[in-house]
């Protein structure tokens, strides 16, 4: 615990709670510093974007397990290096308005402006099908241009991490087998078979 502050500890507890699938309503964001606290609209936006990435099917969607708030907290506490100062070569003119004094990026503010600009107005007022199209376009652009930094890659990674480390994501969306279980040297892959949660690394996405 050396070097931890009360705020760090509170944030860690909240992230842990969300990862266990505790409803978002049970987790408070009030311990965040003013510069990290989301507006109500940003919180709604993050919940919607998360749900567009992982919608409800026969298993709960990202909104159902509170992934939006997980991402807000994760960004505030720098998961996946999101509070590290940006390297000079990564900073484009479009990103300059969203840099903090310490050189890190305000991901939520960037995402809000990027989606509103793509929508030609209020992204959240668009029909869900249109919102999905706009987000898909942002996603395709971010991953098609590997040489150009996009904050979306970190945000999407945190959405996937938040979902697949939740109870629903880890045991319903993925196939869960209690370790150590039994040794099976050859497991046939069949159509519709879910990936094993013990194999999921939150590294490969896109």
Q: What is the pLDDT of residues 39-66, one digit of tens each?
A: 999 999 999 999 999 999 888 889 998 8
- Return the C-alpha torsion angle 111, 12, 91, 118, nearest 10: -10
**DSSP-assigned letters across all residues of 67-85:** HHHHHHHHHHTTGGGTTSP
C-alpha to C-alpha distance for 205 and 108, rounded to whole angstroms: 20
Report which DSSP code applies to 203.
Answer: -
Band of pLDDT at residue 11, cut at 50, 70 and 90:
very low
Per-residue pLDDT at 178: 61
Place of tokens 């939006």: 68
**What angle, 0 to 180 degrees and rounded to 10, lies between the N-to-C axes of helices 107-119 and 40-53?**
70
Structural contact between residues 149 and 155, judged by C-beta atoms closer than 8 angstroms: no
- pLDDT tens profile 115-131: 999 999 999 999 999 99
Give me the chain's average pLDDT, please: 79
Element spanning 142, H or E? helix 128-144
- pLDDT tens profile 68-120: 998 998 898 888 889 999 988 888 899 999 999 999 999 999 999 999 999 99
Q: Which residue has the higher pLDDT, 125 or 148?
A: 125
Report which DSSP code applies to 151.
Answer: T
């Amino acid at each position: 615990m050396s070097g931890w502050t009360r705020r760090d500890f509170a944030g860690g507890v909240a992230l842990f709670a969300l990862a266990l699938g505790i409803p978002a309503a049970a987790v408070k964001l009030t311990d965040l510093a003013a510069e990290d606290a989301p507006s109500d609209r940003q919180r709604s936006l993050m919940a919607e974007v998360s749900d567009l990435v992982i919608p409800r099917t026969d298993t709960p969607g990202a909104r159902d397990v509170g992934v939006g708030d997980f991402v807000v907290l994760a960004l505030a506490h720098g998961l996946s290096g999101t509070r590290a100062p940006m390297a000079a070569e990564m900073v484009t003119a479009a990103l300059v308005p969203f840099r903090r004094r310490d050189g890190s990026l305000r991901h939520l503010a960037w995402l809000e402006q990027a989606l509103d600009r793509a929508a030609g107005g209020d992204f959240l007022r668009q029909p869900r099908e249109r919102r999905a199209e706009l987000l898909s376009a942002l996603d395709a652009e971010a991953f098609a241009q590997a040489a150009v930094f996009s904050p979306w890659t970190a945000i999407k990674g945190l959405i996937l991490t938040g979902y697949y480390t939740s109870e629903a994501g880890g045991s319903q969306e993925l196939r869960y087998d209690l370790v150590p279980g039994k040794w099976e040297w050859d497991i046939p892959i069949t159509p519709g078979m879910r990936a094993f949660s013990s194999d999921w690394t939150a590294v490969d996405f896109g």
